[in-house]
Structure 1
Amino acid sequence: MALFGTQLIVTMVAACVLQKLGPYYSLARWLLCSSGLRRYRYPTDETLRDAAGVAKNGKKKGKQDENKDGGFLVPKSAAFELETSPVEHFEVIAFNYYAEYQWLLDFAVCTVFVYAITEAYTYLVPPKDEVNLSILWCLMAAGFAIKILSRLTAMFFRSTAGSGELEICAVSGLAYFVVSMVILVTSDELLELELEQAYDSFNDSATHFLQAHGMGSSGPASMFAFRLLLAAWSGFAGAILMFPGLRYTRMHRDCLRLCQENRPLQLLYHLSFVMPLVNVLTWVRPLSREYLAERALPSTGAPLMSGAWFESLRLWLLAATVCVRLALMPRHLQAYLDISQQKLARLRTEAGRIRSTELQRKIVSVYYYVCVAALQFVTPLILSLYFTLMYKSLGGYSWVGDPTAAPAMVAAPPPPPAPTAELDSATQHVTFTLAAVKRVFTPGFYRGLLGYLTWWTSFVMFTSSVVGSGLLGYT
């Protein structure tokens, strides 16, 4: 109990709430089924027969339809209207990826509450040797998000439709790998990711730890290997985040088309689109820190804000991006469901006929895919949010611009006790292991690594949206 203290109680209560109340009170279910979303119902056979002038026996003006099992032929320009109905929980619960969508979003909400309670507790009662269990929750939430994005991307590798998804994933992964290699060698004077300081912190602390336990070493890995590992992750993240970015861009364009008369709402949509770019630019020193926290104003002779408040501004901007996009999620999902009407309008511009079953399939397929679209919208937000929270806590930053919160980059905690024969209990073994982890993985290392992961997630979210805008404009 000395290792975890009050946080263990908070974790157990949160786990109990997630298990007992999750099926009854779910933000994921509310966003999908109680936020006013309406889906388009596919036209019935009777509606299509009336629109096409086909009799119930399959005849039209004395000519019998050739295919009895595949429906009947309908003119693509047939005039009929699609009926709408609310999105119901008993319908979507049977869709693919609904369970993953509900679990991920509900777990993410529970993690936010655990993190907020832990932050308040540590602010009021500074911990001594306690482990921050909210970091474990954040790590699991980010892991679940990566797992689901990987599963969604793997569908394209198993698909035999040959529509180009596999090629897009491969090309985007390789492109982001190359771009990340260029970024990783950029000087900190231009892009303050502080990866070299993070590597030096990790290398020094790991070397001292190994030498203290009789294992001579000059360091666990080279800087080249460290950068190569980050570049590999960057390419993987680019591949799994590309299609969510393309999906968001399509929703964004449709939302703008539907609210042409509402200028404030259009401004909010544009703001949500460019906010990842603002987050990316806060790490570009000449465009952000130099103007806001280093250059003195002529009127006051001092910078606009301190360095600590600038770090807090980064955190708040990242959190605001997630909140704005999540608030607009129902409108984006409605824009996605409206694709059924767009498909029908596009079909009516074509000449010829179409099978009734194929037409119905075109309409209903949009609704069957709504859980995947919801995951593609919300999963990058969850990944960005929990990278940000871990970056704040493990990097030693503050939400209120506290200049004493961030420790030195290469500072290391006191060395852990050497393992002896007295370490015979489970608690002592856990104590030694946690002390060793704190010794090797210093706050300076977390500030560089998690800062890069947070920045790269925002970078991919924005660039994939820009690529999607270009593709939509081209088509």
Structure 2
Amino acid sequence: MALFGTQLIITMVAACVLQKLGPYYSLARWLLCSSGLRRYRYPTDDKLREAAGLAKNGKKKGKHEEKTDNGFLIPKNTEFELDTAPVEHFEVIGFNFYTEYQWLVDFAVWTMVVYAITECYSWLVGPRDEVNLSMLWCLMVLGFAVRLLGRLTAVFFRSTDGSGELEICAVSGLAYFVVSMVILVTSNDLLELQLEQAYGSFNESATHFLRAHGLGSSGPASMFAFRLLLAVLSGFAGAILMFPGLRYTRMHRDCIRVSSENRALQLLYHVNFVMPLLNVLTWVRPLSRAYLTEKDMPSTGAPLLSDAWFDSLRLWLLVATVVLRMLLMPRHLQAYLNISQDKLDRIRKEAGRIRSTELQKRIVSVYYYVCVAALQFVTPLILSLYLALMYKSLGGYSWLGAAPVSDPELSPLPAPPTADQLGSPSHHVTFTLAAVKRVFTPGFYRGLLGYLTWWTSFVMFTSSVVGSSLLGYT
């Protein structure tokens, strides 16, 4: 209990509340079914016959009209209106990926509650030698998010319709791998990724740990291997985040088009679009820290921000990006559901005829895919948010402008469990946690998690830019 203390109590209470209240109070269900979203109904056969001037037996004013078990043919320019209906829970509960979507969003919400309580407890009580179990919750959220993005991407690899999704995933992954290799060798004078400091801290502490146990070593890995591993992770992140970025870009374009008469709302959409770019620029030293913390303001003769407050501002900007996009999520999902009407408008501009079943399938397929669209919208935000939270806590930063925690001095480790203590789990846990704290220092987390947080924002913005370019040619 001394190892976990209050952290264990918070975790157990949160897990119990999640189990009891989760089925009744769900943010994921509210976003889909109670936020005012309306979907388009597909036209019935009788409505299509009436609009096309067909009799029930398939004849049209003396001309024989083809009719089969797969529907009947109607002119593509047939005029009729699509009916709308609210999105209902009993309908979406059977859609693909709805369970995964609800679990991810709701678990992320409860993880945020655990994290907030832990942060308040740490601020009131002060630092203690306890395990921060909220980091385990955040790590699980990241694992679930990456797993879901991987499953969504794997669907494209199993596709055999030749629509090009597999090629886009492969090309984007390789492109981001190359870009990350270029970025990883960039000097710290340009990007504040602190990867060299992270590697140095990890290598020094790991070497000290190995030598303390009689294992002579100059370090567990070289700097090249460290960078190569990060580049592979970056390429994988680029591959799984490309299609969510393309999906968001399509929603953004449709939102802008629908709100063409509301300039204030259009401005909000544009700010929402460029917020990841602002997050990326906060790591570019000449454009952010050098200007805000090193250059004296003419009015005051002092920098605008201190280094500690700049680090806090960077964290708040990441949180603001996620909050703004979540607030606008219902509008973006409604823009996605409006694709049904857009498809019908495009069909009417084509010449020839179309089968009734094919027309109905094209319209209703948008609604059946809404849970996937919701996942593609919200999962990158969850990745970005919880990477930022882990970056703050494990990197030793503060929300209120306090100086970051420095790496501890390399003091002797506690002795490993003896033969008499092998049956005591507490000795094993104590020794393991002390070793983990020794090897993985705040400096290591500042470099690793800072890079992953920055890279997520970078991919979110660049994939949106690529999507805007592709939509400009369609």
Q: CA deviation at 1:129?
A: 1.7
Maintained 8 Å contact 2:417/2:427: no
Maintained 8 Å contact 1:390/1:450: yes
Aligned to 1:155: 155
Q: CA deviation at 1:126?
A: 2.0
1:26-56 C-alpha deviation (Å, 9 max, x unpaired): 0000000000000000000000000111111
Q: CA deviation at 1:264?
A: 1.1
| Equivalent AA in structure 2 for residue 318 of structure 1 | L
Structure 2 counterparts to residues 286-305 of structure 1, below 5 A = 286-305=286-305
Aligned to 1:392: 392
Maintained 8 Å contact 2:58/2:67: no
Maintained 8 Å contact 2:417/2:428: no
Q: CA deviation at 1:7?
A: 1.1
Q: CA deviation at 1:67?
A: 4.2
Matches of 1:423 and 1:102, distance apart in 2: 45
Question: 336-345 or 413-422, which moves further after superposition?
Answer: 413-422
Match status 1:363 vs 2:360: no
Q: CA RMSD in A?
A: 1.0
Aligned to 1:247: 247
1:177-220 C-alpha deviation (Å, 9 max, x unpaired): 00000000000000010000100000000000000111100000
Q: CA deviation at 1:17?
A: 1.4
Match status 1:431 vs 2:430: yes
| Equivalent AA in structure 1 for residue 438 of structure 2 | R
TM superposition score normalised by structure 1: 0.98
Maintained 8 Å contact 1:209/1:415: no
Q: Do the aligned partners of residues 293 and 98 (structure 1) sit closer, same or farther apart at CA in structure 2, a change above 3 Å counting? A: same
Structure 2 counterparts to residues 349-428 of structure 1, below 5 A = 349-403=349-403, 405-408=404-407, 411-412=408-409, 414-421=411-418, 422-424=420-422, 425-428=424-427
Maintained 8 Å contact 1:415/1:439: no
Unmatched segments (≥5 aa) in structure 1: none
Matches of 1:413 and 1:127, distance apart in 2: 19
Matches of 2:134 and 2:411, distance apart in 1: 23
Matched residue pairs, number? 472
Helix, strand or coil at the partner of 2:421 = coil
Aligned to 1:282: 282
Matches of 1:141 and 1:163, distance apart in 2: 32
Helix, strand or coil at the partner of 1:430 = helix
| Equivalent AA in structure 1 for residue 18 of structure 2 | L
Aligned to 2:345: 345
Matches of 2:101 and 2:359, distance apart in 1: 28
Q: Do the aligned partners of residues 253 and 377 (structure 1) sit closer, same or farther apart at CA in structure 2, a change above 3 Å counting? A: same
Structure 2 counterparts to residues 100-249 of structure 1, below 5 A = 100-249=100-249
Match status 1:319 vs 2:323: no
| Equivalent AA in structure 2 for residue 447 of structure 1 | R
Q: CA deviation at 1:420?
A: 3.5
Percent of paired sites with the same residue? 79
Matches of 1:48 and 1:67, distance apart in 2: 13
Matches of 2:363 and 2:331, distance apart in 1: 20
Match status 1:331 vs 2:331: yes
Helix, strand or coil at the partner of 2:71 = coil
Unmatched segments (≥5 aa) in structure 2: none
Aligned to 1:79: 79
Matches of 1:93 and 1:64, distance apart in 2: 42
Maintained 8 Å contact 1:392/1:398: yes
Maintained 8 Å contact 2:190/2:284: yes
Matches of 2:253 and 2:195, distance apart in 1: 37
Question: 8-17 or 451-460, which moves further after superposition?
Answer: 8-17
Helix, strand or coil at the partner of 1:72 = strand
Helix, strand or coil at the partner of 1:176 = helix
| Equivalent AA in structure 2 for residue 58 of structure 1 | G
| Equivalent AA in structure 2 for residue 304 of structure 1 | L
